[in-house]
Structure 1
């Protein structure tokens, strides 16, 4: 998992034009990093590629498409022409605002700045990345882990006493298809809450039981529908990032500074067999 690289990492963010002193910028960056890190579930499971920077525009697929021949007017016998295939990166911006009075208070030494709109933007940014990784983003050419899994989707339901059997069968499916562990259960917040609040007969914690079955982790994942059991062996899922999550400046008025969280990325499932979707 990579850390969130909020900060003045690219000129196009125009941070130098914002009426925000250095101390306040540090507080804003630190708050964004603190909010984002626990929310970015996909980064705990996918292999990290990058960051390649704002000008990184595509990921190589390592494949080619045949062309009809050389440019018009060139006639050479036996020439083979092909075009490299790439997956373009998608980018997004989530706007938020900061009250200029809060910026002034930070400069005065306030240790508890109120950046509530930043917290909201961080949740939305994390959900965009998580959802693209696990459920896909068709318009951006991204196929999600759950969407391309070749196994029949299994209904998880809300009866936590059934979870060990369901997860064990999903793990067995992966193992029988040559997918090694450890394994992780990536689950929506509501399902995660049910797990941590539940005990089994004899008082044994359901959370601990599931971790023993998986041999890996249970991941709280905002933006995910249902759950997915995935291998954590590595090499099956690639998150290719250009501009890592960073804060940029848009404009300001007498009372408010308008900022945004920005990221560019794409995602590839290398091995569809490495995940089982639980609806």
Structure 2
């Protein structure tokens, strides 16, 4: 195993633990690495809870956040961009580096990042300051965004954990205070009760909209975007996007043919199947 077991954290909702299969899967995990989230309070708490555990154990940690429902063809090339983002975040601790994919069509259901056109001191690495975010724009303005050099926001990002918590502290102090209380309880007997109590009072907070987009250039914290080229990337959060990608790759026709062939075989052998009796 490339990563020691004690450094792999698993986040589960408490209602997942009602399922025997989940209990089986978690049985071999070191106890301190299984993190229970009492309730769904949107994406910010969902990310901050495991990051607080990482921060308590590894205060200088640099992490990459990779959403789980993405489809990427050129995986090795994409991960080279992730590696570059991690190196930038490690070298420049005040930077939060997002990956933005160069669009190949005007997709109104994606979020967009509008980068600064001016050269950044790290221009050889092709990063740019983030000017603003545009979430699911009206179809009438998508082409204008593309003309202005906007990138698809993958929400893949790299940063020092303590930098992100500094951003939270500056942007939503009450959210920071809630997780600071959780931090003090980690590893104690009262941890589970305190996490539940904090979550009961916690408001829902969207990570992208209420943290990243609230103030793109916080004092002492810089949001940068690293343009990703030569990678077929798609957010598979909708059935239509799955079909679009399969069509681009030439797989959709084959799948449709296979489905039609299977249906034909079933019809061919249907008369051999026993008839169902209806009472």
What TM-score, normalized by structure 1, do the two folds share? 0.23
Considering fraction of residues, name the structure with more helix.
Answer: 2
Structure with more strand by fraction: 1
